[in-house]
Structure 1
Amino acid sequence: MDLLSELAAYQANGVHATDRERIRLLELRQQLADRLLRVSYEIHSVTAEAACEEARAAHLADRLQVVQDKKVHTQTLVAIVGEAMIGIVAGGLSLAAEGVAAATMDITGGSLATGFGLAAFIEKETHQFQHRRNLLREAWEGPEHSKLFPASVWKYLTTASEDTPTLRESLVADWRQDSSLGTPGSETERQRIALFFGDGGLYTIDDLRTQAEMLESLRVAVNLMNQDLYLLSQELVFSTSVKATQSTP
């Protein structure tokens, strides 16, 4: 008989319980309270780790964004100044009646300026981002026994309720449907699956922000367990108070 079933059986005796049964009932309530507290710590352990990894990815993305913005600003200035200088030279050649040379200079200068301008917006900053202890990988693969999640949390994520999918399955479906991994069947999806659920690699800013969003969704899913724990604890407190009232002469 598990803890909750045994507790319910003892509580059902109510005022007819013997002193020994009442003592056992107190022991069971204390054991349940201790277990709820331990599970709460396990939940916070997972959510804290996910939040830390989420913040790490977001922070690196912000740093890379600053670097990229500076490069865009610099290269845009180079394109503008370069185009202006070419225009001055081309104008001088025109005044010198060197029409062909001026036209050539105009075309070349325009091409160079355009090249700098496009490079400023096409070039993407990348950086190594390692995550050998990967919570997302276990959520994605769904092993029977998790090496990273506490048993209580993993059971919560992988246990189905009637005909509904498990929380883990819902998470994976959301990642696929909202294009976090890219278009299904695409090369982008293949690359991101290998990157996000591996040990790490070369990340772009978009990759890092997507990784952070996926970690946030995992953290939110685990946090739902706190609500169920709260409801269980409230039920325990309520039933205890009712039994105490019934046993009062």
Structure 2
Amino acid sequence: MYRYDAATAPLPSIQPVLDSALTAHYLRRNLLIANAAGVLPQLKALTQLERTAQQQPSPAHTLAALAQRQQVLARLQLMATSIASTAAELDCEGERADQVAGYLAEQEDRYEQRLTVLSIGVGAVAGVGTTVFDQKIPQYAFGIGGGLLTAGLGLLTLTSHRTIAFEHPRNLLTDIWEEKPTSALYPPSVWYCLQEKAFSNQGETSVGHNTRQRWQHYGQLAQPNSPKGRQQQALLFGQGGKYSVEELRIRANMLNELQAAVRLIEQDLQALLLALTRTS
């Protein structure tokens, strides 16, 4: 569970806080990222204090504005830390899935190599057996038996897909897939940015929703109502289970894509910091 100070939670709507001074100095996207950081009321107070310091110059007014600016910057730094920690967790989980997939793939390759060598050996013995014996019955026995064994080994090679237990009780994919309005796994600032439509390229659907839509091209997620689709959803978005190499790589790709979406929030945070620099 992610614990946070409710006083710094984003407001449901920024509209009641806006005034002409805020909209004159900051773009709407700047104001939304300030709300994500839980600092929009403080930013409004800063614009008022700076205007007072300009209209009525005095050490007291200047110090008040500087103190308020420092408070705003501290909150924004806290949000930057939240973004970095979330991205790091996603990166760690993606790397973990990728490493286990590599290990499992190596085990499968070794098993297939053994079966291939055994199949070649059986074929060689069967071939020699058909030439050694003069009688037809032994020749047929070696030929047919060797062929059946070779076919069986080939079938084992094709169906030798191993699985491995892979647990993830804290699953950062779940809340995105279920499109929850709130999340106990993500920092409020990060979750707000993933759910606010204005942060997506088109501004029509949220970044979280767009990410979920792209996930539906992976594996059986394209058929969410099929038996295999439901089974894969329970595996990927639950607390773990028996994974194949393909499923581990699907999970790693999903985590990496979500990590990229989280890191993009840094661009909007940087834009707000630049806007603050211009108004100082």
TM-score by length of 1: 0.89
Q: 1:101 deviation in Å? A: 3.2
Match of 2:141 among 101, 104, 113: 104
Match of 1:155 among 178, 186, 192: 192
1:124 to 1:136, Cα distance in 2 relative to 1, 3 A: same
User: Unaligned regions of 5+ residues in structure 1, if any?
Assistant: 241-249
> 1:216-231 maps to which residues of 2 (within 5 A)?
216-231=256-271
Q: Which amino acid aligns with 2:104?
A: L
Aligned to 2:163: 126
Aligned to 1:235: 275
SS in 2 for 1:135: coil
Q: Does 1:215 align with 2:252?
A: no
> 1:136-155 maps to which residues of 2 (within 5 A)?
136-155=173-192
Aligned to 1:114: 151
In 2, distance between residues paired with 1:30 and 1:43?
20
In 2, distance between residues paired with 1:24 and 1:122?
72
Deviations 1:28-86 (A, max 9, x none): 21011101110011111111111111111111011111111111111100000111001
Aligned to 1:16: 55
Aligned to 2:100: 60
Aligned to 2:42: 3
Kept after mapping to 2: 8 A contact 1:171/1:218: yes
Kept after mapping to 1: 8 A contact 2:94/2:252: yes
Match of 1:82 among 122, 133, 137: 122
In 2, distance between residues paired with 1:239 and 1:223?
26
Aligned to 2:237: 197
SS in 2 for 1:233: helix
Q: 1:22 deviation in Å? A: 2.1
Deviations 1:154-199 (A, max 9, x none): 11111122851111101110101x2344432333321110000001
Q: Does 1:167 align with 2:167?
A: no
Aligned to 2:222: 183
Kept after mapping to 1: 8 A contact 2:220/2:232: yes
In 1, distance between residues paired with 2:120 and 2:231?
36
SS in 2 for 1:101: helix
Which of these two proteins has the greater Rg computed from alpha carbons? 1
1:80 to 1:182, Cα distance in 2 relative to 1, 3 A: farther
Q: Which amino acid aligns with 1:194?
A: A
In 2, distance between residues paired with 1:130 and 1:63?
16
In 2, distance between residues paired with 1:35 and 1:180?
41
Aligned-residue CA RMSD in angstroms?
1.7
Q: 1:214 deviation in Å? A: 0.3
In 2, distance between residues paired with 1:214 and 1:35?
30
> 1:26-41 maps to which residues of 2 (within 5 A)?
26-41=66-81
Deviations 1:89-131 (A, max 9, x none): 12222xx2x2133123212211211211231232111100000
The percentage of aligned residue pairs carrying the same residue is 30
State the aligned residue count. 236
1:222 to 1:180, Cα distance in 2 relative to 1, 3 A: farther
Aligned to 2:89: 49
